[in-house]
Structure 1
Amino acid sequence: MTTTFFFLRHAAHDNVGQYLAGRSPGVRLGPAGRAQAFRVGERMQRERFDVIAASPRERTQETAQAVSVACGVGPVVTRDELDEIDFGCWSGKTFAELNEDDDWRIWNQERGTARTPAGECVEQVRERVCACMGDLAQKHPDAGVVMVSHADVIKAAVCHVLGLPGEAGFRFDIEPGSITVIVMGGWGSKLLRLNEGAS
């Protein structure tokens, strides 16, 4: 029995790439992001899945809802294990501000061992996303599951499947609105697609 996980990164919010949204409240999709989420929903009509799970952040919930409406699958299930990394006081700061912070530079240079101000490390992110996958695989064998999450969380899952260290996430991109597919069974897991666009 195998479970297919469709990892979707949330669609772009208006200021993606300009500041670290993290777990800041109120970060929602703008018009461009809603249009992108609509395209993701249309793209997912070509896939078979029974469940949509999403991080509690507004931008992931809005993306998941677009997929739910387009595909007639729902309701969306909120899973805290899919939440963004807890960046603590870094959340909401611009990248220009963060680049002046020595701890931020250490975090980016030593992702395998460094911790955020809130105390979370990449290994903890990997543990929680993999636990979520294991739980949903047990509940939905021989089914498809959509997981709407964040770039670093998806990277942690991919690194786990490929047997890569956590810091290897810097070697590939997970773009807003992208689709990454992982299959899990009793034999293990494998990566089928990485960072596929929704068009």
Structure 2
Amino acid sequence: MTTTFLLVRHAAHDKIGNFLAGRTGDVPLGPAGLEQAKRLAARLAREDIGAIYASPRKRTRETAAAIANASEISEVETAEALDEVDFGTWSGKSFEVLNTDPLWRQWNCTRSQVRAPGGETMLEVQSRVLALVETLGRRKGDRKIVLVSHADVIKSLVCHVLGLSADAWPRFEIAPASISVVVMGDWGAKILTLNEDPS
């Protein structure tokens, strides 16, 4: 029995790359992101999707809603385990400001050892997303499940499947509206595709 997980990063918001959105407010998709979500949804409509789970953030829920509509899935389930990294007091700050913080620079070098101030570690992120996929794999075997989440959350799962440290996160890209496919079964897990651009 195997379960296929289609790991989807949310489409772009207007200020992507300028500030750390994290869990600040409820950042929506921008016009470009809405177009990305439509292309992503059209691509995933070709898959036989059994269920869709999304992070509670607005940008992930909007992305998931587009996929659900195109795939005629009646409900998107919210999964706290897919939520963005809790960046604590870093959330909402510009990258220009963050780059002056020595702890931020340390975080980006050794994420396996550093806790975001008032937030969580990458190992905690990895632990929660792994627990979710293991639970869903047992419950929903032989199905394709879409998980709409965030770049670092997806990277933490990919690192685990590949047997890499959480510190390996900069070695591969997880772009907005990309699809990465992981298959899991009693024999273990493997990556089928990584960072597919659906456009």
TM-score range, shorter chain: over 0.9
Q: CA deviation at 1:118?
A: 2.1
Letter in 1 for 2:173: D
Structure 2 partner of 1:100 = 100
CA contact (8 A) 2:49 2:71 kept: no
Q: CA deviation at 1:107?
A: 0.7
CA distance in 1, matches of 2:41, 2:158: 22
Structure 1 partner of 2:35 = 35
Structure 2 partner of 1:72 = 72
Structure 1 partner of 2:87 = 87
CA contact (8 A) 1:51 1:74 kept: no
Determine if the alignment matches structure 1 residue 177 to structure 2 residue 183: no
CA distance in 2, matches of 1:86, 1:123: 12
Letter in 1 for 2:126: R
Structure 2 partner of 1:16 = 16
Classify 1:119/1:25 alpha carbon distance in 2 versus 1 (closer, same or farther; 3 Å): closer
Determine if the alignment matches structure 1 residue 143 to structure 2 residue 143: yes
CA distance in 1, matches of 2:118, 2:39: 35
Aligned-residue identity in percent: 53
Deviations along 1:57-108, one digit per CA (max 9) or x if unpaired, are: 0000000000000110130000000000000111111100000111111111
Structure 1 partner of 2:53 = 53
Residue segments in structure 2 that go unaligned for 5+ positions in a row: none
CA distance in 1, matches of 2:188, 2:88: 34
Scaled by the length of structure 2, what TM-score is found?
0.98
SS in structure 1 opposite 2:49?
coil
Letter in 2 for 1:67: I
- How many residue pairs get aligned? The number is 199
Runs of 4+ in 1 over 6 A off after TM superposition: none
Letter in 1 for 2:43: R
Higher mean C-alpha deviation, range 101-110 or range 48-57: 101-110
CA contact (8 A) 1:52 1:74 kept: no
CA distance in 1, matches of 2:132, 2:27: 24
CA distance in 1, matches of 2:134, 2:11: 25
Q: CA deviation at 1:121?
A: 0.7
Q: CA deviation at 1:111?
A: 1.0
Residue segments in structure 1 that go unaligned for 5+ positions in a row: none
- RMSD over aligned CA atoms reads 0.7
CA contact (8 A) 1:182 1:190 kept: yes
Scaled by the length of structure 1, what TM-score is found?
0.98
CA distance in 2, matches of 1:105, 1:169: 14
